[in-house]
Amino acid sequence: AQSVTQPDIHITVSEGASLELRCNYSYGATPYLFWYVQSPGQGLQLLLKYFSGDTLVQGIKGFEAEFKRSQSSFNLRKPSVHWSDAAEYFCAVGGASGTYKYIFGTGTRLKVLA
Amino acid sequence: NAGVTQTPKFQVLKTGQSMTLQCAQDMNHEYMSWYRQDPGMGLRLIHYSVGAGITDQGEVPNGYNVSRSTTEDFPLRLLSAAPSQTSVYFCASSYSQGAYGYTFGSGTRLTVV
């Protein structure tokens, strides 16, 4: 069965600290992988995506993610977190093999301490 | 500004009432979808469309209808609102299958009392 797991419901980091948000997936083929960010009361915004090539992808707002096929993971990282990064982050997979359907994880809520 | 526009932003319904959530995009995207977001459950797909005149069910379609008469518009109809449909609803669109990711609307917060 296709699924996405974000094992951390909440994460708290201090401003300036590094961040890693975990995402594991189960998918029949090599999937397209995405990270989205949702600020309070807003829709989701695409941070970055992977579908082929270099397994380390760069996104907006200084985020990056690394695709590790052997671990079925697509973890999101940022070297130095800013207070404005406080939001909820969603990992999503899908879109491969001619399907339009995407599967979203349940999200990780990030809190940033000043 | 190009994007996905959802109306209304907030709505309160009484149990049994019907209503339509509007969604429009001006990016000529083929693919449009409706999700509902509930705490701790992420986003769940309600219905989706791969082009005008073509719709299909997602993960949680019961109690909802959709149609796609034009490329731009993809309204979601609640036939007889129930408290279980209290949620935040997002419309999203994509240029094509797979690699492009979604553009999301800003959501409709619906409360059914």
Report pLDDT digits (tens) over B22-46.
Answer: 999 999 999 999 999 998 888 999 9
Question: To the nearest whole percent, how much of chain A has pLDDT over 70?
Answer: 95
- Nearest Cα to A43, choosing from B101, B95, B18? B101
With contact defined as beta carbons under 8 Å apart, do B28 and B71 qualify?
yes
Residue B82: predicted pLDDT: 97
Comparing A2 with B69, the larger pLDDT belongs to B69
Of A40-44, A62-66, A74-78, A110-114, the one with minimum mean pLDDT is: A40-44
- The answer to whether A53 faces chain B, any CB pair under 8 Å, is no
Comparing A19 with A97, the larger pLDDT belongs to A19
Q: Do A90 and B33 touch (CB under 8 A)?
A: no
> Average pLDDT, whole number, for chain A?
91
Residue B57: predicted pLDDT: 93
Give ∠ CA A61-A31-A2 in degrees, rounded to 5. Answer: 110
Residue A98: predicted pLDDT: 57
Residues 6+ apart with CB under 8 A from A101: A94, A95, B45, B48, B58
Cis bond leading into B39, ω under 30°?
no
**Which residues does chain B have within 8 Å of residue A95's beta carbon, measured at their own beta carbons?**
97-99
Burial B90-110 (b: 16+ CB within 10 A, else e): bbbbbeebbebbbbbbbbbeb
> B87-94 and A108-113: which strand pairing?
unpaired
Kindly report, residue by residue over B52-86, the tens digit of the pLDDT. 999 999 989 999 999 999 999 999 999 999 999 99
* CA atoms of A15 and A111, how far apart (whole Å): 9
Residue A95: predicted pLDDT: 65
The chain B residues in contact with chain A (CB within 8 A) are 4, 31, 33, 35, 40-43, 45, 48, 50, 58, 90, 92, 94, 97-107
Distance set, CA B34 to CA A4, A106, B47, B61 (Å): 19, 17, 6, 10
CB contact residues (below 8 A), chain A span 15-34, against chain B: 32, 34
